[in-house]
Structures are given as C-alpha cells and as structure tokens.
A = this chain, B = another copy of it.
Amino acid sequence: MVLQFLKALAHESRLRLLGLLAAREHSVQELATGVALKEPTVSHHLAMLREAGLVTLRQDGNTHWYGLNQKALSRLSRAVFARDQLAAFAGAEINEEDRIVRNYLTPEGRLKAFPATLKKRRPILAWLAKQFEEGRDYPESEVNELIERRHHDRETFRRELIGHRMLARKSGVYWRLPESEWIR
C-alpha cells in the first residue's frame, strides 16, 4: 500500500507527469508531448499512478482528463513520514524503552545526562548494561572505560548499575548479571 505509493512516485517520468498535473488537468496526448514519451508509455505510468491513488481520471468523450489527487498525496505523506509508522514496516513496533534511550543519545551515541526520573532510569541503565558481555569478568578499570565511552560520570553510573543488580562486584572484579535478576 504505502510501498505502492512510493514506487509510483520514485521514477523520473512519473514525477514529471505529476509535475504537469500539479498545474492543471491534462489529456494523455498532452502529457505525452509534455514529457516526450509515446502515449502507450504514458498510459502505463498513469495506470500505476492511478493504482496508487495519486491521480484522478475524468472521461469526456474519448478524451481522458487526468488530474492530481492532492488529498491522497498529503494523507499518504503523513503516513510515511511519521516515525512510528515507519517502524511498523519492520513489523517491529517501537516500545517505550527504545524511545527513551533514543532521546538520551547524542548523535555520537553518548548519553546526554543521567536521567533524573525513575521511569527513564531503568531503560537507560539496561541499555548500558548490555554493553557488557555476560559470563566474563571485568576489572574496575575496564568497567570505567566502557562507561566513559557513554558518559563522563563513571561513578554514578557504576553505582546505579550495581544498585539495579545489572552488574555485580566481588573483591574488585565485576560481571554482568542475567537479565532475569535485574530490578524492575
């Protein structure tokens, strides 16, 4: 559906046809002259545009008047370009956690801040915890290093990771705990 719409738009000839139609109605002959293609070719393109609901057809005698369907155009553009809509194409819906993490990341992939609200804190920490491999020991120096790649305040984040039972520490070494033990 949306794919059909985009495919219909994504061709130079059809864009130019729509360009002509944006000004006013045209017959097939006029369009063929306008874009320097033969009638059958134009007819073929118009059929695609019509399938996609991008143009309207009005028949008068045996002349077919094609026009731009502005409504469909704006309706569909909104559908395509909303982030959540886009996510639907992957079958994957965006969950709240992902959205929170995304909003906390700079373009360089660093955390903008330590989240003040509790609701946001957990997904951020979970994301950070996943930077560690499970079933492996980390000396404190390496823990700090990994955290600092995401935020300068290694102390706060390290403490919180442990507080949420995402990391554990014993005699100077750290390891990642299984997700089932993390505090919700």
Contacts and interface: CB of A to CB of B under 8 A. Distances in A.
Interface of A: 2-3, 6-7, 9-10, 12, 15-20, 22-25, 34-35, 56, 58, 60, 65, 67-68, 70, 73-74, 77, 80-81, 83-84, 86-95, 98, 101-102, 105, 107-109, 149
Number of copies: 2
Top 9 closest pairs, chain A to chain B, by CB:
A19-B90, A10-B10, A19-B89, A22-B87, A6-B10, A77-B81, A22-B86, A15-B89, A20-B90
A20 to B, nearest CB: 5
A31 to B, nearest CB: 10
A111 to B, nearest CB: 13
A18 B83 CA distance: 9
